[in-house]
Structure 1
């Protein structure tokens, strides 16, 4: 069964004859007759009662006519959606996301919705290494990633488009002498054990911290591993041996008893959009406009 056969069938039914249907369709009458016959053989029914003087729908034809119209209407809708998807006005954008800071991601999604209201966004929360793999493999259209270093080797096989930079913060015991300072440089904290996640947990962020200390000419003392922010801050505030950690804001700055949070100067974390190389598609262009409008 072909859509052309359904369209010919519906046109003959509406025009009441093969000749008028052929004229409306802009084809010869024999082509219309041939395609309708093929449809009848496919379905195993006679759609029309034919005489030398008239053509009218059979009982089977009356029953099949609304079904044929429904199929054609669905095909027309699919074609219109395809046009909109090609233009980026419709479809699904699969985006790897990050948390915060503040409501920035919510504002990006609102801006995207205003610019392309029929474009649906599927937001995926994945570890950073898996996020980059998903973009590389085509499972995601793009991913937001923090702390990707500059240069082509930052994310092999991908392009990293810098979007915005955010400050980093140090958390240390509130009774430590350095907590009296309003802001701190990383090298001032080098003598304190640093709670940092293993490199495999977040390679870009780990590299950012290591590069900052290397540039300052110091090497931080390794402390207990960073688990999650809340547990790590609690340990900093309660352990007898002083230690510290650094983090970026996600949902506001945390307040933990016996822990001081201070801005780190000279060190920021950049959020980038990781995409596959090449010109961005229409949906991705909508996303880029929304990101730059908010960022």
Structure 2
């Protein structure tokens, strides 16, 4: 069975004859008759009762007509969906995500839902190395990554550049400064995650310290933002850490937050090399359409 045979069958049924169906289809009547005969042989039923004066549906033809129409409608719908996928208006986007300030990714996906409402998104949270590997392997179409300067075999498209924040004990002489640079912090122990835990951010901070000629002594390792800030506020020996905003700036007793001058962290979209397909262009437009929201640095009140 071929789709064209179904189309010929429906055309003959609707036009009431082979000649009129052939005229509608733009082919010769003999071609229509031959294909209908082949369809009848394939199905083992006679679809039309033929006389010298007219052609009409048989009982079997009446039963098969709605089925043929349903198959043709499904085929036409499939063609339309394929065209929409080619245009980037339909399909599935598989994205590796990161948390960002004030749910920036969520707001971008809301914009995407407006610009391409039939485009589905499957969001996966993976460690950054796994995210990049999944894009290389074609298991993800794109992945958001933070502080990654380059990735072999992939292209990084910069999206957002966000400030970094310093946390240090309230009452420390540097806490009176409105902002801080790395040179001023060089003498204070730095709580930084071990490189295997967050290699790209670790390298960003370490390289920036070396460039500033200000390598601070190592403090206790960074052990999660909440725990690290609490330790900074309660430890007898002063120390500091640096972080980027994810769920808003925290408020921790006896801890002061200050902007870090001269250094920012970049979020990029990792994709395979080459021009992005239409669905990725929709995604990029939505990601670029999200305006960064800024929040003032808060100094927690003393207990």
Asked if these proteins are the same fold (TM beyond 0.5), I'd say yes
Deviations 1:52-79 (CA, angstroms, capped at 9, x unpaired): 4332222222122111111111111121
Q: Residues 196-236 of structure 1, C-alpha deviation per residue, up to 9 Å, x if partnerless?
A: 22323333212211110110123233333333222222233
Residues 249-275 of structure 1 show CA distances to partners (whole Å, capped at 9, x for unaligned) of: 112100112222221111111111212
Number of matched pairs? 291
Q: CA deviation at 1:181?
A: 2.6
Does residue 197 of the first structure (1) align with residue 165 of the second (2)? no
Unaligned stretches of 5+ residues in structure 2: 292-303
In 2, Cα distance between the equivalents of 1:48 and 1:203? 74
| Alignment root-mean-square deviation, CA | 2.1
Give the Å deviation of 1:2.
Answer: 1.6
Q: Which residue of 1 aligns with 2:20?
A: 20
- How far apart in 2 are the matches of 1:8 and 1:284? 40
User: Which position in structure 2 is the counterpart of 1:91?
Assistant: 91
After TM superposition, list the pairs within 5 Å mapping 1:206-285 onto structure 2. 206-285=202-281
CA contact (8 A) 1:97 1:125 kept: yes
Query: Residue 241 of structure 1: CA displacement?
Result: 4.1
1:101-250 aligned at under 5 Å gives the runs 101-149=101-149, 154-250=150-246
Distance change >3 Å, CA 45–CA 227, structure 1 → 2:
farther
SS state of the match for residue 102, structure 1? helix
Distance in 2, Cα, partners of 1:222 & 1:42: 80
2:2 is aligned with 1:2:
yes
Q: Deviations 1:168-204 (Å, cap 9, x if unpaired)?
A: 0112232433333332222333333333223233332
| Structure 2 Cα separation of the partners of residues 39 and 192 of structure 1 | 85
Assess, with a 3 A threshold, how the Cα gap between structure 1 residues 29 and 171 changes in structure 2: closer, same or farther: same
Stretches of structure 1 that go unaligned for 5 or more consecutive residues are none
User: Aligned equivalents of 2:167 and 2:223: distance in 1?
Assistant: 14
Partner of 1:126, secondary structure, is coil
- SS of alignment partner, residue 187 of structure 1: coil
How far the C-alpha of 1:117 sits from its partner, in A, is: 3.1
**1:234, 1:38 → 2: CA distance?**
81
SS at match of 1:233: helix
Deviation at 1:104, TM superposition (A): 3.0
* 1:76-117 C-alpha deviation (Å, 9 max, x unpaired): 112122222222222222222221212433332333333333
Distance 1:5 1:201 in 2: 63
Q: Distance in 1 between matches of 2:50 and 2:195?
A: 79
CA distance in 2, matches of 1:162, 1:128: 16
Query: Matches of residues 53-72 of structure 1 in structure 2 within 5 Å?
Result: 53-72=53-72
